[in-house]
Structure 1
């Protein structure tokens, strides 16, 4: 019989009835009625083509066919219990695989993960560079941080606000031309420098290579440190989000990290 056709519920009822040699006591254990136990046993007997119990003046007795299959069945249930415990132990582990853009990891995420690790001894992180086409299952991810307009098909919460801010060199010097990066394209001929991401754009602005329009969340540490200054008014734009598919989102370890990153 194929695994997909195994009558697992019926086998569970059979195991309980065989241990108690009583449909009534099996029903009490399983929180169902004795009639429901009887129906499950009859359905299982019909499927298997064997009789499992005989009624005698002394009560229920197992047939030879039932006795022959019972040891392997109980061994299988024990292995299933071990499997469930192993999966639950994995859920409660402190190992988290996180995908994030390289610039966000460098300028925002790493410091917060370090603070979280101090509060949660034993936690371990695997950090991978984010990819727009990243597959959570294939990459075995627990959580991702993305610059996006929303969560799409996944669960998620925003990090801070979605403002973009323009930053430049702190002394007012340097070039005034815009710094181009994929999240803030600039017309050909107007940018002196083009870089791969917003983090490099902030560094270029700090070095006087122009003015960078970048996510406020990414620039806040450099602004606080005086490496760059905010110029003019901020504008709306896509924000950073913590996202994950629902199964990963439900994990205790993911919930705890999401709470810590959202607050910080």
Structure 2
């Protein structure tokens, strides 16, 4: 259903003028000039086709037409305030829903979430599958992705974009493999193809081949020398989620150097 365009600013001015029965005091409340209040009232009267105020020897008085609409108008403003409070409730909530790859959660993210919660005991986390891509459908606040950048989302890099080779023998490959040559799952020389970096890491540690894995997954000293690559772990979210106070606090904690 198409909604009627409402002159909300003029109605807000009318409400103030009706409460004070004075354009001057209404102007003081709204931080505008009395002339601006008068202009808004005249514009509203022209739009509605009614007179809202009459001047008497005692000052301003509401007309019957103005009085008849004042109560539902104020009720409407209260509902607007309730709507805004309801929409802001998500920002004040202490629950953060995060999508993260399982291997990254265990190796890097979980200890930092624990440290954050130790300082913010009211916080609760909901962790979902890192493959969750739809922020609305999964009701996500943040997601961690192994990617070349945030794309069309807001984001910040978590650590340096580096890979480390681990193990010996034939290649273990996985989707997102940081092999800059482009060789990967279709490489006939690869002995094992797995589904993610965590599986590649487990296979290499078991002695079943060598894998290139994100350096953040390894403790210091394990594997070869880290090398730069295009991809890295990024913390991302759409702009509305990124602007939430609770999200900003966690992002700041996770990116502290």
Report the Cα distance in structure 1 between the residues aligned to 2:86 and 2:226, rounded to whole angstroms: 53
Aligned with 1:246 (options 235, 239, 254): 239
TM-score by length of 1: 0.88
| Aligned residue number for residue 29 of structure 2 | 29
- Deviation string 1:94-113 (CA, Å, 9 cap, x unpaired) is 11111222322233222222
Unaligned runs of 5+ in 1: 169-174
Alignment of 1:165-244 (within 5 A): 165-168=164-167, 175-184=168-177, 185-220=184-219, 229-232=222-225, 234-244=227-237
Paired with 1:2 and 1:9, the residues of 2 have a C-alpha distance of 20
* Partner SS state of residue 165, structure 1: strand
List per-residue Cα deviations over 1:174-212 (Å, max 9, x = no partner). Answer: x51111111221554322221110011111111101111
Q: CA deviation at 1:2?
A: 5.7
Aligned positions, number: 251
Separation in 1, partners of 2:113, 2:28: 49
Aligned to 2:65: 65
Give me the whole-angstrom Cα distance separating, in 2, the residues matched to 1:21 and 1:218: 68
The answer to whether the 8 A contact 1:165-1:235 is kept is no
Q: Which residue of 2 aligns with 1:162?
A: 161
What are structure 2's unaligned runs of at least 5 residues? 178-183
Q: CA RMSD in A?
A: 2.0
Classify the secondary structure of the residue corresponding to 2:193.
coil
Residue of structure 2 equivalent to 1:79: 79
Q: Is the 8 A contact 1:178 1:186 kept in 2?
A: no
